[in-house]
Homo-oligomer: A and B are copies of this chain.
Amino acid sequence: MADAKDKPDEPTSDNAVPKAVVSRLSLYLRELQHLVRDGHETTSSTQLGRLLGFTDAQVRKDLAYFGQFGYPGIGYRCSELIDAIKKILGTNQPWALAIVGLGNLGRALMGYRGFQHQGFRIVAAFDVDPAKIGKSIEGVPVHHLDDCSRIATEHHIRLAIIAVPSPSAQKVADALVAAGIEGILNFAPVTLNLPKHVRTIGVDLAIELEQLSFSVVNPPAKG
C-alpha cells in the first residue's frame, strides 16, 4: 500500500535495513501488544512466527537487525520488546499530527482509533472550506490551510496526513513542507514532488484489493 519508493525489499542506499523488515516490526509490535493484553509476559520467535505466519528464523533474523532481545530459556519479555520496537520505530515518543482535507476520508481518519493507540495524536485539522474552518471535529479544531505554519510550530507538528482530492495534493504538500512538516502520509493517488529531507508514504487502497483478488484467484493448494 505504500509508494514503491518506500517499500523496496532489499537494502537501499537510504538505509541499511530493508523496508520489508521495518514493516514487519509493526506486525510484531501488534502481536506483542495483543499478547500483553491477554496476560502473557514472555513469548518466543516460534510463537510470534506462528501468530503471524512467518518462520521463527524470519522473526529472529528481522529482530537481529536491531540488537539482541531474547533471553536464553525465557525468550522475549513482551513489554521489553514492545519498548524496544517502539524506540526503533520512533513511536516511544508521542507524535503530534495534522490532517489536511475534511471530506469523508479526512473525517474517517480523524475518528480512526488505531492512530491514537499507537501514539499518533491528531492535534490540528486543515481545510479551505469556510464552512468548516473554526469548527471542531472529533474534538480537534479546524483551521484554514493558510495558517498551517503557525499552527504546526505552536503544536510541534512534524507529521501530516493529506486527504484532499488529487488536483490539490501537491499544493497542500508544498504548504506543509513550508510549514516544516517532516513526514507526509498521502492518500491522494498522485506522486508528490518533495524535497529530499521530507519523507512520504503514499497509500493506495486499490493495491489491497488487488492483493485480495490475487489470493482469491490463486487459492492455497489443497492438502
Residues of A within 8 A of B (CB): 1-2, 4-10, 12-15, 17, 19-20, 22-27, 29-31, 51-55, 58, 88-91, 95, 97, 103-105, 107-109, 111-115, 117-118, 120, 158-159, 182-185, 189, 196-197, 199-201, 203-221
Specify the chain B residue showing the minimal Cβ separation from A86: B210
A219 interface neighbour in B20, B91, B197, B212, Cβ under 8 Å: B197
| Nearest CB in chain B: distance from A28 CB, A | 8
Q: Tell whether, in the assembled complex, residue B1 and residue A208 are in contact, meaning their CB atoms are under 8 Å apart.
A: yes
Specify the chain B residue showing the minimal Cβ separation from A30: B204
A159 to B211, CA, bound (A): 12
Centre residue among A55, A97, A211, A221 by max chain B CB count within 10 A: A211
| Nearest CB in chain B: distance from A14 CB, A | 4
Q: Tell whether, in the assembled complex, residue A113 and residue B196 are in contact, meaning their CB atoms are under 8 Å apart.
A: no
A–B complex contacts, Cβ < 8 Å, 17 sampled: A1-B1, A1-B2, A1-B203, A4-B31, A15-B215, A15-B221, A26-B211, A89-B213, A95-B213, A104-B107, A104-B108, A105-B108, A114-B206, A115-B205, A185-B209, A199-B216, A200-B212
Q: Tell whether, in the assembled complex, residue B214 and residue A88 are in contact, meaning their CB atoms are under 8 Å apart.
A: yes
Q: Tell whether, in the assembled complex, residue B221 and residue A211 are in contact, meaning their CB atoms are under 8 Å apart.
A: no
A104 to B105, CA, bound (A): 7
- For the complex of A and B, the 7 pairs showing the least CB-CB separation, nearest first, are A90-B217, A4-B52, A104-B108, A105-B108, A14-B220, A90-B213, A199-B215
Centre residue among A7, A25, A88 by max chain B CB count within 10 A: A7
The verdict on A213 contacting B159 (CB below 8 Å), with A108-B104, A108-B105, A206-B117 known, is: yes
